Amino acid sequence: MSDAPALLPVEEARARILGLCTPLPTEWVPGDDALGRALAEDVLARRTLPPWDNSAMDGYAVRGGDLTGPLPVRLTVGETVFAGRRPTREVVPGTCARIMTGAPLPPGADAVVMRERTRTLAGALDAVEILEAAGPGNFVRPRGEDAKEGDVLLRRGTPLGIPELGLLWAQGQGTVPVPRRPRVAVLSTGDELCRVDEPPGDGIVDINAPTLALAVRRAGGVPTLLGIARDTREAVQEALARTEGFDVVLTSAGVSVGDHDFVKDALEALGVEQRFWRVAIKPGKPLVVGQRGATLFMGLPGNPTSSLVTFELFVRPALRRLLGHADVEPPRVAGRLEGKLSKAPGLAHFVRVTATWRAGELWARPLGTQTSGALRSAAAATHLLHFPRDTSSLTDGSHVELVPLSWVA
């Protein structure tokens, strides 16, 4: 593979990656397995909900016209209507019905007065005094307020959270059409690496593969660990040759310009077309992206924090696109900088910060170390502060853009 002629801006790199991704084939899964995925097609309401006008309060179902005169107004109580029961009497002038939350509104009634705004009369169980006026619709949940049969209930691409799944279950829909979960292979490279259950000796424990696998799972994918490939072109190529059938292949390390950086060469030998290499970003500059057939290959940097940051900014949006989400860009929130930052222009820095609310604003304090190999600061970070590519300094109190981190518990 030939080197890319220039460093890509972050936004362009992400746009190119997303251009390589389309939602995966649809499968129907139980609702509890669809949590966090996105709908693969529009869902129409099968039922009108609520199916009738019902009370939003415990109180009395009344005719608003009976309450236009001087208060209090004394009304005769015709019946008590409980949730799950149908009313048996019409509310006629001068009468009302005792009603419970969720119970159907009796014919003739057009409003509900909450129990706290009434007074019962001693020795008169069939009468009540209404202490305040109530116009039509007062404390009434109208028929079809939540859904009307035949209407589009949820659009394709809607993320399925708990309320959305509740809407579907209320419609009697137990299975949901969603893109299948992306199958993601994760490979580490490096002679210095060992597994967590091995004595390190002169090496270091491979933390990239297991942490990336957790990030993949949290983003909705299904990770498979391919182990550790040693620093030879043959070893890397042999490991990558075992990625047939995966939707995404993630490697860590071996993508820079060192003598033992063989990932790009191995990908080229396997017929992977390089789309770009290197992004104008810190941490995470040596990012390589390629494609073979429908499989997306992303070579991430080897330093642990660089690996996680590039996952957050590039891999997670790609997985969300494969999962059918309509909005895949990393979320952003406005904040203020606590302290000062400076750098040379040319690279966009994503600074690890701890952000806290103060006086109605989100204040971001940079963590003590920003080196790519320091995972401890990634553990303490709540957000990434975007320090723009062409900006060289940010002063105390500067308005900044913050990216909330999905890896925060």
Is 3 within the bounds of a domain?
A: no
C-alpha pair distances (Å), 103 with each of 62, 140, 260, 288, 383:
14, 10, 72, 61, 47
Is 284 within the bounds of a domain?
A: yes
Is 206 within the bounds of a domain?
A: yes
pLDDT, tens digit, 9 for 90 and up, residues 185-219: 999 998 888 888 887 777 888 999 999 999 999 99
261 and 343 housed in the same domain: no
253 and 384 housed in the same domain: no
CATH number at 100 reads 2.170.190.11
pTM (2 d.p.) = 0.87
Question: Tokens 């490939």 map to which residue?
Answer: 229
188 and 302 housed in the same domain: yes
- The dihedral of CA 28, 30, 34, 39: what is its sign? positive
Domain that holds residue 391: 333-404
Is 77 within the bounds of a domain?
A: yes
Is 2 within the bounds of a domain?
A: no
Coil, strand or helix at 276? strand
207 and 233 housed in the same domain: yes
Is 244 within the bounds of a domain?
A: yes
Is 36 within the bounds of a domain?
A: yes
170 and 189 housed in the same domain: no
Structurally, how many domains does the chain consist of? 4
- How far is it, in rounded angstroms, from Cα 164 to Cα 160? 5
Q: What is the pLDDT of residue 288?
A: 93
Task: Kindly report the average pLDDT of the chain as a whole number.
Answer: 92
- Which of 141, 170, 194 is the last residue in one of the domains? 141
The Cα angle at residue 299 between residues 265 and 377, in degrees rounded to 5:
140
361 and 338 housed in the same domain: yes
Q: Is the pLDDT score of 254 beyond 80?
A: no
40 and 72 housed in the same domain: no
Tokens for 177, please give them.
Answer: 């059409």
- Which of 323, 344, 362 is the last residue in one of the domains? 323
80 and 204 housed in the same domain: no
88 and 204 housed in the same domain: no
Q: Which of 152, 155, 154, 157 is nearest to 37 (CA)?
A: 157
- How far is it, in rounded angstroms, from Cα 132 to Cα 214? 58
CATH number at 385 reads 2.40.340.10
Q: How many angstroms separate the most distant Cα atoms in the chain?
A: 96
Q: What is the pLDDT of residue 257?
A: 59
Q: Is the pLDDT score of 57 beyond 90?
A: yes
Q: What is the pLDDT of residue 2?
A: 45
36 and 58 housed in the same domain: no
CATH number at 169 reads 3.90.105.10
Is 1 within the bounds of a domain?
A: no
C-alpha pair distances (Å), 286 with each of 101, 252, 306:
60, 10, 9
Q: What per-residue string of b and e applies to 377-393 under the rule 16 or more CB within 10 Å gives b?
A: bbeebbbbbbbebeeee
pLDDT higher at 3 or 238? 238
pLDDT, tens digit, 9 for 90 and up, residues 107-125: 999 999 999 999 988 777 7
- Which of 179, 204, 234 is the last residue in one of the domains? 179
pLDDT, tens digit, 9 for 90 and up, residues 20-32: 999 999 999 999 9
314 and 343 housed in the same domain: no
CATH number at 212 reads 3.40.980.10
343 and 387 housed in the same domain: yes
